[in-house]
Amino acid sequence: MKRLLITGAAGGVGRVMRSRLAHLAETIRVSDVAPLGDAAANEECIQCDLGDADAVDALISGCDGIVHLGGVSVEDTFEKINNANIVGLYNLYEAARAHGMPRILFASSNHVVGYYRQDEYLGTDARPKPDGLYGVSKCFGEALASMYHDKFGQETALVRIGSCFERPTNHRMLATWLSYNDFVALVERVFAAPKLGCPVIWGVSANDTAWWDNSAARYLGWTPKDNSAKFRAELEQSVERPDQGSPHAIWQGGVFTQDPIYKEDKS
């Protein structure tokens, strides 16, 4: 590719992917509503509010591919989630449609199915059971991408990211962990595949503890290699197991199921 856009590049995963995906394009355009710091050798830095349609249109102009990590990534007020994850995503898809429909990797989330139990094994066809407004916004994102694919042919990988960190930090992440290496390999396959379509893909490594069946996405040729099991013994010694009656031990969404509906402070 000549130019790959990474939105949300000031966030936790975005900061890592700025350098780890640099080989995929001659120019990496990075964007966030937060400050991005200094540009690397092959980077363009553009600060952008996803809720600003004109700014998003300019952001996507000239891009061959989009890794969309941007938006609110935790439970928050509806106003914030709506601007970034709902209005912002609509702005992104309309801009993509206006600029040749570059292929998109959309960072969806495991929280679209957060109210399934941890003893349930899900395929990509499991009906959504979101665990909060954040999860609802990701359900909207998947539906929007599906519509743009069916109506206009816009290709999108709907990646339901589990927990993308350097290593798992709690017992739930033994099932949900996605290593940086496996995520990079997935991004590579998404943009290399001759035909993508609009698949749902579980963004999870090859962990021994498994809640999700990724067989429907095998055609992409992505085979995750890392396994959270290598961290199990250390976790058992350093992190206390959650009480078996707690949401962290019952629901796939963990503590997100405990979050309230946050209200905007109007004082």
CA distance 183 to 237: 27
First-to-last alpha carbon distance for the chain, in angstroms, is 48
Radius of gyration from C-alpha coordinates of the chain? 18
> Is the separation of the CB atoms in 7 and 68 below 8 Å?
yes
CA distance 168 to 96: 34
Which residue in the block uniquely carries the two structure tokens 């969806």?
108
Residue 130 DSSP SS3: coil
CA distance 8 to 34: 9
- Looking only at the bridges linking them, the beta strands covering 156-161 and 103-109 are parallel
Residues serving a catalytic function are 134
CA distance 90 to 86: 6
Which residue in the block uniquely carries the two structure tokens 């010694």?
237
